Structure 1
Amino acid sequence: MTHTAQAIHAPQIKIPATYMRGGTSKGVFFKLSDLPEAAQQPGAVRDQLLLRMMGSPDPYEKQIDGMGGATSSTSKAVILSKSVSAEHDVDYLFGQVAIDKPYVDWSGNCGNLSAAVGPFAIANGLVDPARIPKNGVVEVRIWQVNIQKTIVSQVPIVNGHVQETGDFELDGVTFSAAEIPVAFMDPADGEGAIFPTGNLIDELDVPGVGKLRATLINAGIPTVFVNAADIGYIGTELQDAINSDIKALAMFEAIRAHGAMRMGLVSHIDEAASRQHTPKVAFVAPPADYTASSGRKVCGADIDLLVRALSMGKLHHAMMGTAAVAIAAAAAIEGTLVNLAASSEKPGDEKHGGEKRSAVTFGHPSGSLRVGAEANLVEGRWHIEKAIMSRSARVLMQGVVCVPGDSF
């Protein structure tokens, strides 16, 4: 009797990790020191580890053999460590893991998962225990490594532990939880200007679309805003109306790519394809009644404007936290397309040029969200002091993730 020789494969390795929801996203959280030594530094090894952990690249676009949930909102990784800065508690690095392509995009932040950073940091010893009250609120100062900015999170504490349950409701999340106010300080991405072109409204010449007015803003995350009416929409669309339309997705990608060029994020239009996480592209419209994806009726009288945003090539089911920061910033500045949509009674009614706003409530596919920002004109340039919103976060699972040892 003969025996067929079997190939010897490396066993799986086990890495301590926590699976968390933050806002309307969820992802796998790691302490930097828990990663394999070769993955503790940026580079190909770290990227390969995260790709295999998530189950990417997957031509089926399901991420069945990994932790990813096959959407941009659920294919995310976070790496945290004690901050090297005396002014911050924790350093926060975010990776957007592509689903069907072999890359991890490190070019921006995740505003939703930012709400989970404070709770994770407290629970995992990254915040000085002396600063944590038995009951009350602890302010966690976060250094966002991707965009080199400060985020301040107010985390509720009960009996010395993070309070996760509560009655705060967030549209796009089925169950209530504890409220976590998050402030994004000076949220212009990197060292760039709020408006990279110096204009509140630019004109993009997009092949197949034509000349298109756009607000190109660099707050929270670089974002390209266009008017819904200019591209054939009304602003009340839900995911299926966009994501099932191949021509529409191609149009939005073309708009995004040309916006990236104008913002100076890429040097050639083809480079945008390998920078999917940024910029975002969104379309805005004046308020109107619609039915959210949950079936709940959203009354136009209760919101200031409509916003729909795309992430990683698909219409987002709610709103990315960083894009919400961009919305807050743009709404606070008179004359942007976002501000004008919030100030108009009907599409195209921009005769009054907008009005100053410190906060807006906008409608998105899952419901509505209130965001605020403080904007000031300093020496001829707009500056956003901070943008504020409330989110929630919760630990879903903690333990270890298993990754084949020969995959990175």
Structure 2
Amino acid sequence: MSIIPQIFKDNLKTISVPRTDWATNDQSQSLPSSLDIIGTRQYADVYIKLTDENGYEVAGNYASVSYQESINGMAQPVKMVQIPGSLYLIGEEMLIEDTTEDSFFTYDIHIVGTVTPNISTYTPPGICDAKISTISINKKESTAGAHDGQITISASSTHLPLQYSLDGSTYQSSSTFSQLAGGAYTAYIEDATGCTDILAFNLGITNSLLTDDPTVALNDGNSSRWNAAFNPVVFTYQRKDFEVTSITPNPATLNITVTINGVLSTIINGQTVSLAKGDLVYLNAGPYNNVYQVLLINANGTLVLNQPYLNSTGINISGFMNIDKLRPYYKVKTRITYQSKLTSLTEAITCTHRPNNKGLVRADLSSFLQSLLRAKDDSDFTQTNFRDDNLSASYTVSYAEEWDGQTNQ
């Protein structure tokens, strides 16, 4: 079997570069138009990938591979590396091309020669650089016992591929784990050399979407859900897309830097949609309760917003953030299940309610529930204890979040 080395670029990202005199911190200015863009910068993760003749990845077993980089057309010295696995990381988020006039830049890389197999004369280096950087909470457990939580481990190593685990014994190639219960966990990774890293984290349980309903607490500790016919019956929900875990000042601008539990991209109608500079978000955490503009998305996923940091804030702030771009056309669907007075069959009706600009949703069910009653008296006035079912009705309410075709029960 032949080992074929090739250059592999992943996570390609292109950023438009505005004029330097466009002030992003001036909230009175609009976002830069196409006339304000003076060029682009392209970044990528650069690897050497080893495959066989059929294109399948193979382990190098510390085979030697030489490569040469070119910067602005000038060839750099040839470098040699030993590759234990199938991938070798040259660099993360490397600048590949800059088309701006003042800082024009090009980067190229190619393999030199062929692979030199390891004939047991090479001793692996003692450097161990496998590292877990973050744990992204994609979804908390929706309620205790639901086992529907999901997390993603972000990690890096010079010697790829990585394996991931939540128990230290059963590993998988995917960095995402699903069907999780809320609670304390430890994430484990292992690279192609056996180098490992661990990081403890906690997967929470989602606070209830429902914040208020017609339930009345009784003095005996029980709850009453009885309502008079013409009293308002309103269910109130609070949209909470992402949990806010900390707010700190940005060193450069002194605006707030917000850390959330979640991934800033999603799949909508088969297309990847990502939060970007200039997008609007709603933040409700401590003294920050408004719609803000994204000024910068840092490499670690934190967001810099166009709001000055308040010195008395403190970093341990609990709250939430709503992002319309990642959850477009958000709504809450309320389903009412009841027994029809006319057919005696169990029937259901679904209502759709949209939130206000702060994510608050009010589902007023009063009119429909009143329609379940019948203005009819079946009493013959001879019974001392008679309940007329025409003037009473029972119902069950269930609800779910939905956005652009996706439902979160």
With the shorter chain as reference, the TM-score category is: under 0.3
Larger Rg: 2
Q: TM-score, normalised on structure 2?
A: 0.23
Name the structure with the higher strand share: 2
Per the normalisation by structure 1, the TM-score is: 0.23
